[in-house]
Structures are given as structure tokens and as C-alpha cells.
A and B are shown apart, each in its own frame.
Chain A
Amino acid sequence: MTKLYVDGDRYGGAPASVLVEAVHNSVRDLVRRRLGESGHDWGTFVFGSANDLITKSDFEAIENRILATGHRFAWSSMLSLRDRPEIYTRADQADDVGASFSFDHPEAAFHTADDMGRELHGVGDNVVRHGANTIGVTGYIRTSERVIDLMKNGVPPDLIAIIDDSGGTLTAPILDKFKGVICAGGTVRSHLGILTREYGIPCLMNVKISGIREGDRVELETSATAKTAEAYQRGEEMTARIWKLLR
């Protein structure tokens, strides 16, 4: 059996991810096999014959072997799912948005209504401390089709966008029209956090919410202290609350 230089690693163990471990082990097996078959020394192989002997077809075969085990990949770009639905898991599809849909984070805070009729449904990281809390009506925005619809028909003036994409591209054409943003991922320094700060749009990132549905009236505690880099580095909680308004 041909041995690779990295096979003699004194300190390295397995990667943390099972998928990464499986893929990397498969690639190492491939390299061992091709090196052995070539009859070349490593110096001739590494940037020479390996360029021809290790091919795209080899990597397609590795992907196919993983898929043959029944594994389906988790998707993050909805266009990845659109183009190759057969290789991605069908769970948590972005078009799961209807009147009854809500993000349901298992650690979402909940408290019954206070004397102002505000029922606590979660918390998030405040991007910028504003002078007052932000009140509006929620709308889930998780697909390019929804963005196109809002581009054509206009963004309601009180819209609090609920997004699970911490990037700045999905909502690029309409972001400046939002009254507020609730983002289920990222940090206050994610691209969406940076952009809402630039626009002056109240925004909570990294929210853990449950039971907030399309069209609910909500209040975001955007008057809370903004979460700092130091708080992230120390792992400190520094959160702002999200209430559903019952009256």
C-alpha cells in the first residue's frame, strides 16, 4: 500500500465533521492509488502526473459513493436546491411559508403577556441602540420569489422582515424599505447587520424566536444596548427582546 507523507502525522486526528472526514479519507485513498499506479516518485507526481491522473470524474465518483449511502446534503443556497434537488435534503424548504409557519427555536424565551399586552416570544442581538423600540407587522422573506413579489407590488410601510439569511444579497433590492429586521442567524457584524446599521434600520441578529407568524404585530427592543465584539469574544449574553403585541 502506497503511503502518503501526511499519513505519518504525529498530532493530527480526524476532522470534526463526519462528512469532511469521509471526503478527505476518500481523496487520500484516491491519491495513494493513483500515485502507486503511476510508478512515479512524489516529486514527479505532485504537480506533474497528478494533474492528469486525479480528475473531475474521480471526485464525481466520491460524491456518488456518499449519496449511495443514502446521505443527502444540507443546503444553504436555495439555488443549489433548485438546480440539484436530488442531492439535497428536503427538510426546512424555504417555501415553507404560510399563515401557520413560524421559526421555532428550541431555546426561544417565552413569557405571558405583561400589562401592556406584550407577550415575549424570543430574544436577539441588537445591532444599534436606537432611541425607541420598533413596532411593525411581520413578514417572512426567505426566497427570491418573495423578493420579486415585493419588488413588483411594493413593500408594506410597517414591514418587519423575518429573515434567516445573515447576508446582504437576498434582500438587496428591497432592504432599505424595511421598518425593521429580525434575522435568525449571523451576528451584529454579519453583512446584514452592517447594512442595516448603514441604512439606520432597526435590526436584531442571531434571534431565537418561536411562535411569530406572518402578519403578527411585534415590538423589537431596539432601545436595548447593542451587542459588542467583546461580548461575542467572551461568550456573554447581551440580548434584546421580541414581543408579540396582543392588543
Chain B
Amino acid sequence: MSKLEETNGHPRSPPSYAQLLETNNLMQNCGDETYWLCLTRTVQGSKLFPVSAYIMLSYLNAFYRYPSLLRKIEARMPAERIADRARNMGIKIQNSQLGWCLPSFYLLGREWLLSMGLLRPQDALEDVIYVMDFWKRFQLSWHRNDGHITNREFGHRAQILPDRRLEIFKSDMFPCQPGDELHAAAHTFMATASQYGFLISCESRISLHNSGPYRLDEQHELLVRDFMDLSECSLPWLDGVAANVPYNNLTVPMAVRDCHFSLVDDWGSFESEPAFTSDKLAGIGLYTSDALSEGYLPVGMNSREELTETFRMLNGILKTATRELWTRMAGWSREQLLDAGAIVYFAVIKDLAHVAGIFAVEDWLEIDPRANRFRPLLNDEFGNSVLGELVGAVSLPNQQISPFGMMQHSNRPARVFTPLPYSVLAGEDFVPSSGGIVPGESHLEPKADRYRTTQGLLTLEEYNRRAQSHTPAVCSDDYRFLCETWVKYHPDHPRCKELYRLERAHSRTLRGLEAGRPQ
């Protein structure tokens, strides 16, 4: 075997031993968590969407396209810098999108192809290393303030936000209690937005996200809830039906009383002790953000009355949008349902491209022909069966290991993801990459050229142009590395005061006040 031989235009030079060791560790961690999440978090089904079938199609699309798309994004903006931006806003590049979906969708596509004999473990070797490295760098940056790579590593917790933002969420939120108008309006809104989120995401939870908890005082904790892709955005089925939704992303900081969020996982789901019910809601705020905003912008936060009315207004708009979207989807063909589900899953990380200012419809809203050819296999029964084996039973032949093995959480001799073989360092041949993007197709209506942003309704060209030239002030080179450790030891430094002043520019209660030491 010649290491200089070329395949698909990529040189065959093996990676280092350290690269392989690290990649396999990242994959194993993802695999362990994948099994736990699938075992404990949910059993899903839908009479409307062929969920398992579209999931399998999305995994293949991710396998063939993610490496090229991530490289394209990084040619414009590195993963860790995009994560710096994500850490300061509530858009669709958090959990589950980046924390779990990015690596797992890609690797589950690889695992299914392995099972069918269409791959060897060492094929697409450089792609696998690159995708996992991108994920690692993004995650470490996004989790910078809590010092972990995933919620799993932190004992299922995510403390993403900096002190300066949490001070504002706490200070600006309005207290509420069962029986008052704000409490009722906020509670109803969150239920309606959750319902709408499941619908726009074709029966998945990827438009919803929770992070935290954060300590407010001995009796209260803060959970930050994000509702994303609500308006006319890069999901074509929202064209028209979501035209009246005035914000694409909404973030709700929520204070709860006498309730501890014991688990916030890498799917963005939470559990609490005792169970969270609306009577425990004690304080609330509302914000929007996107790739063009200066971080979080308050929505209806000038007064308690305005916030109550804003929640009611949004609730009504989302109810109407839910009915119209449901009616549209109920009339779709199975091919359209399959495409929409596969695209919403595959494009779960598309906001990386929006932040980088290089979103393209042909990159994110089409099914690659290399994936699409498998469509005839994806009837409901096969989809349910193969997905169940891949992520639930972990029973595909390629997932079985030495009989001495004991998998985490199940003790069975199996693993979710097949490691890269070290034998490539001993001369075994490998193929570095699956190759570039191939033009794809979709049965859905073409995406209208309208994107709701915090700077208004924009064409894609304009959205990309503005995104390329926009950097929020706190993410600029002047402030990007003024981290929580530096702030701790420089509370009176002029740049620290300026950093807090920038963050407080839109705060109802802290705007214009100089940052001091916490009370």
C-alpha cells in the first residue's frame, strides 16, 4: 500500500496516534451518552410523521454532507469563535443541536453504512477526525464558563452564561405567582411555544432548549429556556404560516421556587425534584437574539403589564400558526413528510452557517443523492426496526465487541459507535473522505427568500452580507478573552466596567449603572 496514493483528491497520509486516540475517546463518550439518552429520556412515535424513517435518512445526509459543510463554515469562521457567539445568545446552536446531534447524527450514519457493508471502519478517516475535532472545539468554547465539554461530563448540567448576563436576567425579571396575570400568561405561552416547537421540528424537540440551572438564592434557581426557529426562517414550511410571528428566537429566563433542576441533559431536556409544575414559577423574562443581534435583546420588558400583554399576543400568534402549519403538514405526501423530517434533523446545525454568513439553500435544504438512493428501504417498519437496533438495542453486528466487554449502562458486550482502527498506523489502507457536496433534491416547496431577523425581514443575500460584517461588541477581539477568571480579579478595571456596560445597554434596571461587586 502506498501512503502517497490518492483517493478522491485527498492524500493518504495517516493521522497521528494521538489524533486517533482522542477521536476514539470523543466517539466513545458520545456513544455512551447516546445509549443513556435513548434509554431513559423517551419513547417516541407519531401518527403523522414517519419519524424513524426520516431520522435514518437524515443520518445518511449528515454522513455525506457534514464534513464538507463544516469545512466550508470554518473557512469563514472557526468553530470556537462561533461558539463564543453562541454562548452569548439563544439560537439553534446549543443543545441538542451541537451537544449531541452534530457528532451523533454523523456517526450514526456511518454506523448504519458499516452495518450494510458499505463502509469499513477506516473509511472517511479524515472526515471522522475532523468532525469530532470541530465538535470538540465548539463544545469546549461553548461550555467555557463551566469548564466541561458536555452536560454529561458536568453531571448533566449546563452553566453556559457569564456573570454579566445572569445579573441582568435576575435583575430585570418580573416576579410572579400562581393566580396573577403574568404567571398565567407566561405559563400558557411556554406551553404553546413548546407545542409549536414540536410541530415546526416535525415531531422532534430540536427547536427547544433548556440550560442551567443557575443559583439565584437559597430558595430559587434559574432555568434558561430557548424557543427557536419560530418565524419565517430557513425552514421552508414556515413560509407564510409563520409570517406574523415577530421573533425567530425567544429566550425565557425562568426563576422557580423550591424546585431543584437535578438534570439538564445534552438533548436540552430537564428533570427536577420535585417535578416542575407551573405553581413553582416565581419569576420570568423574555428576550430575542440571532446572528445579527447584540446578544440578548429584551422583548416586552419595560413593565410587568407590557410583558403580560406580550406573552398573550405571542400566544395568540403561535396558536394560529400552529393550526395553519398543522393543516399544511396533514396535507403533505409521505415523500414530503420524509424530506421535511430528514431536513429539519440534518439541518439542526444550520445556524452555524447563519452566524458565519454563508448559509445556502442548496447546502442545507436538500437531500444528497448518495443518501436519497436508500429511500426505497425506508418504509415505517424497517425505519422503526433499524433505528431501534442502532440506538436502543445496540444490536447491529458491527456494534458487538469482545464477549468480555461490558458497555456502560447496560453491561452488554456492545458499543454504539465503532472506533477508528489504529491499524492504519501500521500500514492498513484507508480512504480519507467521502468527498464533496453533490447537488441534492427535495419534494418540498422551494424556500421563499424571506428570513425574519432582529434587523427585519431580509433576503438571504442580505442576511449573509450583514452576518459577515457583524460581530457583537462583547465578542469582539477587545473583549472576547476577558473571561470570568479575569473579571474575578479585575472588577474595577475600566475594561471590565466597559464590558458590563455593553452587556447592560438594554437592561431595564441596570442600564447606565456601573458594575460593582455582587451583593
Chain A residues engaging chain B, CB cutoff 8 angstroms:
4-7, 9, 11-17, 19-20, 23-24, 27-28, 31-32, 42-44, 46-48, 50-51, 54-56, 58-60, 62-63, 73-80, 82-84, 87-88, 94, 128-129, 142-144, 147-148, 151, 164-170, 172-173, 175-176, 185-187, 189-191, 194-195, 197-200, 206, 226, 229, 232-233
- A167 to chain B: which residues have CB within 8 Å? 44-49, 51, 198, 203
How far in angstroms is the closest Cβ of chain B from A233? Answer: 6
A-B pair count, CB < 8 Å, reads 273
Flag if B46 contacts A76 (CB, 8 Å).
yes
B384 part of interface (Cβ distance < 8 Å): yes
Distance to closest chain A CB from B35 (angstroms): 12
CB of B43 within 8 Å of the partner chain? yes
Q: Are B389 and A144 in contact (CB under 8 A)?
A: no
Chain B residues with CB under 8 Å of A7's CB are 117
Check B79 for interface membership: any CB of A closer than 8 A: no
Does chain A have a CB within 8 A of B380? yes
| Binary CB contact string for chain B from 258 to 271 against chain A (1 if under 8 A, 0 otherwise) | 00000100000101
- Residues in chain A near residue B333, CB distance under 8 A: 79, 83
How far does the Cβ of B197 sit from chain A's closest Cβ, in whole Å?
9
Say whether A16 contacts B373, CB under 8 Å.
Answer: no
Chain B positions within 8 Å of A28 at CB level: 116-117
A190–B42 contact, CB under 8 A?
yes
Chain B residues, Cβ within 8 Å of A59: 373-377
In the complex, what residues of B have CB within 8 A of residue A198's CB? Answer: 190-191, 194-195
Report chain B residues within 8 Å CB of A194. 194, 205, 269
Cβ-defined partner of B377 (8 Å) among A23, A74, A165? A23
Q: With the chains together, A15 CA to B48 CA distance in Å? A: 28
Q: Which of B41, B120, B199 contacts A168 (CB 8 A)?
A: B199
- Looking across the interface, which residue of chain A has its beta carbon closest to that of B192? A176
Instruction: Please tell me if the beta carbons of A229 and B40 are within 8 angstroms of each other in the complex.
Output: yes
List 18 additional A-B contacts (Cβ < 8 Å) besides A12-B396, A28-B117, A198-B195.
A11-B413, A43-B431, A46-B431, A50-B118, A58-B373, A63-B377, A74-B380, A77-B47, A79-B337, A82-B334, A94-B47, A148-B327, A164-B47, A167-B49, A185-B43, A186-B42, A195-B194, A206-B43
- What range describes how many residues of B lie at the interface? 35 or more
B117 touches A170 (CB 8 A): no
Given known A6-B114, A15-B397, A75-B381, contact A168–B45 (CB-CB < 8 A): no
Of the listed residues B50, B117, B334, the one surrounded by the most CB atoms of chain A closer than 10 A to its CB is B117
- Scoring B residues 383 to 402 as 1 if CB is less than 8 Å from chain A, else 0, what string do you get? 01110110001011111111
Task: Return the 9 tightest CB-CB contacts between A and B, nearest first.
Answer: A12-B397, A167-B46, A198-B191, A73-B381, A168-B198, A28-B117, A17-B385, A5-B120, A59-B376
